[in-house]
Structure 1
């Protein structure tokens, strides 16, 4: 047991040393002294997703731990979880080394590192910018770098188109044991997390205005299906709305790929972001933006 604890401490130290800094070389972003393989296998896009199955969790993998003064508490295998933030990737520097789960890291396997998801477990990772999703097996801890929520293997990042930019906004959804038993992960989104919804706003007329260009753009008809937006304020002066739009767009690029716009309605200029596919997705985005900017939003349905 002592040797097991010592191994875990040393392993976390090694991970932290690799995750502490980043470097950009050859047009991509990755950990210092890390990077892609010189001769990667062909057809990486054809590598299949990880196949979820219920696996036992070693007690050592479920204990709380502390890195850089911050405590992390691993979750259980039946706990729904959804998180949005920045994904990065790790490659040849760690290829062949042991993961926090005691396995050997393979940069060409569909795996990932996460600070609190169970080891091992499975997650669906979606890139909102493209709508592309993958399924990975969580078998490592990290990243412990501010602003990043998950480290993808080299091939997982390749399939999401993140090798070039080095990082990007993603949605991480845990695939629970119940999802595996029912096959819900293969039918769509895993079990949703229930979040209380604030009161919705009244519908507003179609159209939004870009603060940077001042050009009014008409939003296309949505066949009567309501769309969900986040609203951050309503102003009688257009300049006040434009100022808030500029402030939001400067602050939220790391947590939200959608941009804020001005929506003119009657005598008011409303600052909104959207549309979102559901109230839950909008609420998740609103919480991320509030954490980043301190600005509270409400829901607007139109």
Structure 2
């Protein structure tokens, strides 16, 4: 049941996780004074959510290296589930949300945040859907750390751990005629020459596609399209390396493709 908190700040806080005068107000995790209500243990409905900007980068902990799973389609895993509750209630999860032990959530070491997962208790046949928004558990053999509410729903609170199977659930995306792509806008400038120079720099330094899109007098430098996880990773890296104003944006793929072709044509023109 014991687990570690926010990845990204773990180097600072791990030394105090087991002390009452550290990050947490109590030393040992335990159940709350009440059980969840019927409304609190309803399965969350999987829906499309952008991957969070926090908690989706590769990380190392206790001498182990962890890579976030890129393709979760048909992902399944069998192992041991544990749970966490009162000690961590109200503290930040790895994706920057506040942990609520009465929400149907969970922690996983390498699934993208957030993800939706069906958990099947192989010991009693109970099932539940949880939203993964945290990292853990970092104990051998354990694959998922359930919130108190999820553990109660699955019948794990009495035993502490259970043999489970987890299955990633992916919501169906609506198909549209004008398909959208996920891009990172790196910068915007009134100077086409400056935008072209920056685009060339991005291509050479990061080996990324860089396109220029003109919009209301500004030349917008875009890179992409990306998957959700790729966008989160590149956004974090680009901001850390000087592009503080970078942000993610969804744009029609056709429009950006046309802008890309035009910018390449203009940059390749040779004056007579």
TM range (shorter): 0.5 to 0.7
Offset at residue 114 of structure 1 (A): 0.2
Correspondence 1:132 to 2:126:
yes
For 1:170 and 1:13, the matched residues in 2 are separated by 32
Segments of structure 2 that go 5 or more residues without pairing to the other structure are: 1-5, 19-25, 175-272
Structure 1 partner of 2:67? 73
CA contact (8 A) 2:54 2:95 kept: no
CA distance in 2, matches of 1:181, 1:15: 38
Can you list the C-alpha shifts for 1:169-219, whole angstroms capped at 9, x where unaligned?
00011113xxx1079xxxxxxxxxxxxxxxxxxxxxxxxxxxxxxxxxxxx
2:145 is the counterpart of 1:151: yes
In structure 1, distance between residues paired with 2:138 and 2:81? 12
Once residues 173 and 15 of structure 2 are traced to their aligned partners in structure 1, the CA distance between those partners, rounded to angstroms, is: 37
Q: Distance in 1 between matches of 2:163 and 2:14?
A: 22
Structure 1: runs of 5+ lacking an equivalent: 1-6, 20-30, 184-302
Cα separation, 1, equivalents of 2:46 and 2:107: 16
> Residue 10 of structure 1: CA displacement?
1.6
* Aligned residue number for residue 244 of structure 1: none
**Aligned residue pair count:** 162
Going from structure 1 to structure 2, the CA distance change for 1:160 and 1:32 (only over 3 Å counts) comes to farther
Give the match for residue 64 of structure 1: 58
Q: Secondary structure at the match of 1:159?
A: helix
Q: What's 1:82 paired with? A: 76
CA distance in 2, matches of 1:153, 1:82: 20
- 1:245-265 deviation digits (Å, cap 9, x = unpaired): xxxxxxxxxxxxxxxxxxxxx
Residues 122 and 162, structure 2, Cα contact 8 Å, conserved in 1: no
| Equivalent position of 1:33 in the other structure | 28
Q: Is the 8 A contact 2:116 2:131 kept in 1?
A: yes
Give the direction of change, closer, same or farther, for the CA distance of 1:166–1:175 in structure 2 (3 Å limit).
same
Please state whether the residue corresponding to 2:129 is helix, strand or coil. strand
Distance change >3 Å, CA 52–CA 33, structure 1 → 2: same
For the pair shown, the structure with the greater C-alpha radius of gyration is 2
Q: 1:40, CA displacement in angstroms?
A: 3.5
* C-alpha spacing 1:8/1:159, structure 2 compared with 1 (3 Å): closer
Q: Which residue of 2 aligns with 1:269?
A: none
Distance (Å, rounded) in 2 between the aligned partners of 1:51 and 1:143: 24
Within 5 A, what are the aligned runs for 1:215-226? none
1:99 Cα deviation from its structure 2 partner? 0.2
Question: What is the DSSP-based 3-state SS (H/G/I as helix, E as strand, rest coil) of the residue aligned with 1:158?
Answer: helix
Change (3 A) 1:110 1:48: same
Verify the 8 A CA contact 1:115 1:141 in the aligned structure 2.
yes
Question: In 1, distance between residues paired with 2:117 and 2:152?
Answer: 17
Counterpart of 1:111 in structure 2 is: 105
Report the TM-score when normalising by structure 2: 0.54
In 1, the alpha carbon distance for the partners of 2:147 and 2:59 equals 23
SS in 2 for 1:105: coil
CA distance in 2, matches of 1:16, 1:110: 28
Counterpart pick for 1:94 among 88, 96, 99: 88
